[in-house]
Each structure stands twice: as C-alpha cells, then as structure tokens.
Structure 1
Amino acid sequence: MKHRLIYPCAVLPFIAWGSTAFAHDGAHMHPHGIDLLWILVGAGICAFLAAAGYKRMRK
C-alpha cells in the first residue's frame, strides 16, 4: 500500500511548479488561463484518485 502513495506525492511538487511557472507566463496574456489550469489540474487529480480507487475495488 505504501508504494501507491509514493507516486502521487512525488508528482505533486512537479505539478505545483509547472502550474505556477505556467501561471506566471500566462497571466500576462490570458487572465482566465490560471483558473482553467487549476480546473484541469484538479480534474486530473480527481481522475487519478478515481482510477486508483476503481482498480482497488476490482481486486
């Protein structure tokens, strides 16, 4: 069970860094780009958790 938690924890800092770097670049051109990006990030995390939960339920 522990090895399942390592992957999301390792990826989150990269997602946070990438989103903030993108937000700084996109804020000048697209004010609403930040909101859309966070929605996509949130949706991605939810989808990942849902997939992990689904796989766990199947076993």
Structure 2
Amino acid sequence: MKHRLMYKSAALPFIAWGSTAFAHDGAHMHPHGIDLLWILVGAGICAFLAAAGYKRMRK
C-alpha cells in the first residue's frame, strides 16, 4: 500500500501544474467546461503514466 501512496503524491505536483497551465491557457480560448474536461484528461494521463512507469521500474 505504501508504494501506491508514493506514486500518487509524486503525481500531485504534475497534476497541479498541469491544471493551472490548462486553466491559464484555456481561460483565453475556451469556456470553463472544456477546461475542466482537459484537466481531468491530463490528470488521468499523469496517473496512468506514473502507474506504468512504476510497474516498469519494479520488474
């Protein structure tokens, strides 16, 4: 259980950075609904990549 917490906390800064970057870029071009969608997509990709990278490192 400890390793799962580790990769989640490692992904948090990336998710925070990604969501603020998307919000800054998107605020000029898109309504907020699209912003939220991209933030969720970005967070999902970050979590997936972190999990995949962690599994690869464990082997």
TM-score where L is the length of structure 1: 0.55
Q: Deviations over 1:7-33 (max 9, x none)?
A: 011001101101101110110111224
TM-score where L is the length of structure 2: 0.55
**CA RMSD after TM alignment:** 4.8
Distance of aligned partners of 1:26 and 1:58 in 2 relative to their CA distance in 1, 3 Å threshold: closer
Per the TM alignment, residue 36 of structure 1 is displaced from its structure 2 partner at its CA by 2.5
Equivalent pairs counted in the alignment come to 59
Select between 37-46 and 1-10 the one with higher mean Cα deviation: 37-46
Q: Secondary structure at the match of 2:11?
A: helix
Radius of gyration: which is bigger? 1
- The structure whose RCO (Cα within 8 Å, separation 6+) is larger is 2
Consecutive unaligned residues in structure 1, runs of 5 or more: none
Mapped partners of 2:46, 2:10: distance in 1? 16
Mapped partners of 2:46, 2:25: distance in 1? 26
Identity %: 93
Mapped partners of 2:2, 2:55: distance in 1? 16
Structure showing the higher helix proportion among its residues:
2
